[in-house]
Amino acid sequence: MTLLFGLLVALFALPSCSSSSGSQTAETKVVVPLETATQDTVVAIPADTATYYSEVVNKKNCFIIISKPEYRLYVCEVVNGDTVKRVHYPVCVGLAKGQKQKKGDMKTPECTAENPFTITEIVDASKWTHDFGDGRGSILSYGNWFMRLKTPGHSGIGIHGSTNNESSVPGRGSEGCIRLRNNDLDELKAKYAFVGMRVVILADE
């Protein structure tokens, strides 16, 4: 987590960072070989569940860090000049590693802490469908919400659910968006997310 919170300090020019010690668990970086992965496969990694660190004081002071190497979405809050972890959720990111270059390359875009993405809208996606080309046809795919991100140079990228593909979380298998389990997405929307929220997507190592 040194890299993660080092970037947060750079973003907010904070003197220190902390988290609640009562519920924090050990965190181990997961390295996933992709040599045999294809567009139709999902790389399996160890299971992960939502982990809560401490309660939010004011959600308008919260921001999101998505760690592609860890397959996690962190909600953090700035409180009295300190950056505090509040919760993390497991996620599924783009099938291919690296910075997104073009549509269809199966990569999730990355950004720096100094130039974060932002949530531009949160829309009802409960009836949205998608054809993954796997023979299932056009099926419900996005959970209840789509949190559209402003990702300069790329369109259609967002944070959403995983209807009919929840087993892909955590891991690699999306076409570029960030997938959460549906219950986690609902909680993220209800408790933390808002239009204008800053989102930093950490690069693959």
Domain limits, the chain: 2-18+47-202
Task: Report pLDDT for 8.
Answer: 56
Per-residue model confidence (pLDDT) at position 205: 76
Q: What is the pLDDT of residue 37?
A: 43
Per-residue pLDDT of the chain (205 residues; tens, 9 = 90+): 445 555 554 455 333 333 333 333 333 333 333 333 444 445 558 889 999 999 999 999 999 999 999 999 999 999 998 999 999 999 999 999 999 999 999 999 999 999 999 999 999 999 999 998 888 999 999 999 999 999 999 999 999 999 999 999 999 999 999 999 999 999 999 999 999 999 999 998 7
Q: In terms of DSSP bridges, do strands 82-90 and 16-18 run parallel, antiparallel, or are they unpaired?
A: parallel
- Is the separation of the CB atoms in 49 and 25 below 8 Å? no
Q: What DSSP line would sit under 51-115, residue for residue?
A: EE-S--S-GGGEEEEEETTTTEEEEEEEETTEEEEEEEEE-EEESB-S---STTS-B----BTTB
* Pairwise CA distance, residues 169 & 47, whole Å: 8
Q: Are 24 and 17 in contact (CB under 8 A)?
A: no
Rounded to whole angstroms, the Cα distance separating 202 from 65 reads 7
Q: How far is CA 123 from CA 39, 61, 82, 149, in A?
A: 27, 21, 31, 12
DSSP per residue, 129-195: EEE-SSSS-EEE-STTEEEEEEBTTB-S-EEE--TT-GGG-SEEEESSSEE--HHHHHHHHHHT--T
Among 111, 30, 114, smallest CA distance to 70 is for 30
Q: Coil, strand, or helix at residue 12?
A: helix
Q: What span, in angstroms and rounded, lies between the C-alpha atoms of 133 and 38?
A: 13
What pLDDT does 6 receive? 55
- DSSP annotation of 5 reads H
Distance of alpha carbon 104 from its chain centroid, rounded? Answer: 19
pLDDT on residue 132: 87
Distance CA 40, CA 62 (A): 35
CATH top-level class of 2-18+47-202: mainly beta
Supply the pTM of this predicted model.
Answer: 0.81
